[in-house]
Structure 1
Amino acid sequence: MTAAVHDLVLADGRSLRVHDSGSAGPVAFTVLWHHGSPQTGEPLEPLVRAATARGIRLISYARPGYGGSSPHPGRTVADAADDVAQLAAALGDTHLGLLASSGGGPHALACAALLPHLVPATAVMAGIAPFAAHGDGLDWFDGMAGGGAGLRSAVQGRDARQRFEATAEFDRSSFTARDYEALDGRWASLGDDVGRAVAAGGQVGLIDDEIAIVAPWGFDLGDIASPVLLAQGGADRVVPPAHARWMLDRLPHGELWTRPRDGHIAVLDAAPVALDWLAQHAWP
């Protein structure tokens, strides 16, 4: 199924690129996908297939600086909630289940915390913890491939992160053998999408994501009153498992699924069951 695409003009004049998968039949409910970093925001084929099979209307959007959405220099993680509130109003949705992975995780959690009237439940796969966790029971960089070099440069500020990006090369040790198997097969659409994002200048969105992630997020995990599912690969070398455990201890209604053999990509195989979890918790 091909998703419909439109550009939503926000109150501040920025444009947000929105993808709407619709549904082949009656729509049970709507789920908003928060993509990883860097991606275009286009819905990935396995997600659309799983949503369609469940009668779910899958919406996705490109965060600022990605896939046709206007850049938003200096954006915070919390700013995602305002964008999503305007998106939901334009779509006419009063409730949105949230599904996210990797760099999309913090932005989904922002919506859960700041839009409690809109978000009944959130599922995050391979989500990163706030940088404030560093030294608060978590060695934030421990277990990251390459020592988390890109994020370390972001901690030093935008100029340092831009200098790093100018010469950065992908560290193949970031992914496990199961991750590469997934990218060669069932999640090939993700690899293709990352390639399109980079070719279209997605480094702008990536840098803005990472600068926002290492800055104060603008909310506390303890503010999230709705259920949150964390799905985490035990072999993840991009976002180590300790991040999920740290967040679980601070989420009032958190649940953790650990998939011991999965890495950062293979954990996305949890998405169909995460959609079922959303259906049970957001629309019981």
Structure 2
Amino acid sequence: GASDRHPGRTVADVAHDAAAVADSFGLDTFAVAGRSGGGPGALACAALLPDRVTRTAALVPLAPRDAEDLDWFAGMAASNVREYTTATDDPEELAARLIPRAAGIRRDPGRLLEELRRELTLNDRMIVSDSGLRSMLLRNYREGVRTSAWGWIDDILAFSRPWGFDPADIRSPVLIWHGELDVFSPVGHSRWLGRRIPGATTTIDPDAAHFAAFRALPDVLNWLLRELPAPVLGEEQPA
């Protein structure tokens, strides 16, 4: 929440930031996991830090906006379609819309979940009703907009531009997890990434949606830390 803004940043810039954090902890190599909008950043680390990243997991990620043979908006909730379309057509309007929203979320982070509620699937509603998970989400939402809305705005802008790297360049092991019912990051994005990344393991849970990634995370973290084949999390489908 207190980070300086980096205007014009791309998804690729996440790798530089991650390397700086790893350096500060004295880590030569490390594994990376990213959920939702964090998925592209995790893949950036894998592609651009090949000598340091051992394994990467991307849960309910987005695919590049310029991905070939992908209908990027297919299956996406109307609110996300609106924000990403505005990011491309009128970035100033996007900022004007999100700055007051962020101020409201800073005062009451629960309002973001309430705004999303009408687009949550039954599966997502059940998961975010868990008191522990809900408390964690609210803390994260408040922290993300603690000083301004620009982190949120710049994320949307970065996802709406070329990433600055090609996922096909990743050579380390990658696990992709997605819920078939996801309307915020549609499952087609993970299927595209699974085809694009050499040797990636793509796991699709047919009964899960966006927030179910939290339930998959413990198994994913175990996979990141051990030298064993990827776990089967739900129903495995070909990429």
> TM-score band (shorter)?
0.7 to 0.9
Structure 1 partner of 2:8 = 74
Kindly provide the CA deviation profile for residues 90-131 of structure 1, in whole angstroms up to 9, marking residues without a partner as x.
Answer: 111011111110111111111110001110110111100000
- In 2: Cα distance, 1:156 partner to 1:187 partner: 35
Answer whether contact 1:113 1:224 (CA < 8 A) is retained.
yes
Tell me if 1:175 matches 2:107: no
Structure 2 partner of 1:56 = none
Residue in structure 2 matching 1:102, options 36, 41, 58? 36
Following superposition, the deviation at residue 165 of structure 1 comes to 2.1
Residues 163 and 227 (structure 1 numbering): CA distance in 2 closer, same or farther, change over 3 Å? same
Residue in structure 1 matching 2:153, options 199, 207, 215? 207
After alignment, is 148-157 or 117-126 more displaced? 148-157
Structure 1 partner of 2:72 = 140
Report which structure shows greater RCO (CA 8 Å, sep ≥6): 2
Answer whether contact 2:46 2:55 (CA < 8 A) is retained.
yes
**Structure with the higher strand share, 1 or 2:** 1
Q: What TM-score results when the alignment is normalised by the length of structure 2?
A: 0.83
One-letter identity of the residue aligned with 2:96 = R
Q: CA RMSD in A?
A: 2.2
Residues 81 and 150 (structure 1 numbering): CA distance in 2 closer, same or farther, change over 3 Å? same
Residue in structure 2 matching 1:251, options 178, 181, 197? 197
**Structure with the higher helix share, 1 or 2:** 2
Residue in structure 2 matching 1:197, options 120, 127, 143? 143
Task: Among all aligned residue pairs of Structure 1 and Structure 2, give the percentage whose two residues are the same amino acid.
Answer: 37
Answer whether contact 1:121 1:281 (CA < 8 A) is retained.
no
Residues 261 and 138 (structure 1 numbering): CA distance in 2 closer, same or farther, change over 3 Å? same
Structure 1 partner of 2:182 = 236
Following superposition, the deviation at residue 132 of structure 1 comes to 0.8
- In 1: Cα distance, 2:226 partner to 2:144 partner: 36
One-letter identity of the residue aligned with 1:165 = L
Following superposition, the deviation at residue 253 of structure 1 comes to 2.1
- In 2: Cα distance, 1:156 partner to 1:184 partner: 35
Residues 195 and 225 (structure 1 numbering): CA distance in 2 closer, same or farther, change over 3 Å? closer
